[in-house]
Amino acid sequence: MSEQITFEDFEKVDIRIGKIIEVEDFPEARKPSYKLTIDFGKEIGMKGSSAQITKLYKKEELIGREVIAVVNFPKKQIANFMSEALTLGVPDKDGNVVLLKPERDVELGVKMF
């Protein structure tokens, strides 16, 4: 069982909807990854994210895809890339990351609550 947090703790996590606008190979990463550029709308703008999603997703199919990400973690250096957002996903039965996305169209940058 995971550690319990308060609702106030949860409110500190800024989870937003973004749209992937650019995908690059990331051969410098230890595990196969892509460098993503994600548009989070006018308030937040563009952020970079490293994502270990190469097994299930081709670069071309990721362009324009909506994703859910945490945007208020500190920046994290991964090899020669500064990741500014944590793109959220869950593992499939083989441990490959399946991206989370909104069920319906929503405005970019909208905050999850």
Q: Answer whether residue 63 shows pLDDT above 90.
A: yes
Distance CA 106, CA 113 (A): 13
Mean pLDDT of 107-111: 96
Q: Which of 92, 91, 82, 3 is nearest to 36 (CA)?
A: 82
pTM over 0.85: yes
Q: Which CATH number fits domain 7-98: 2.102.10.10, 3.40.630.10, 3.30.365.10, 2.40.50.140?
A: 2.40.50.140
Longest dimension (CA), the chain: 40
Give yes or no for residue 73 having a pLDDT over 90.
yes
Q: How confident is the model at residue 1 (pLDDT cuts 50, 70, 90)?
A: confident
* Token pair for 88: 């959220």
Average pLDDT of the chain is 96
Q: Do residues 107 and 17 make contact, with C-beta atoms less than 8 angstroms apart?
A: yes
Which pLDDT score, from 0 to 100, does residue 22 have? 98
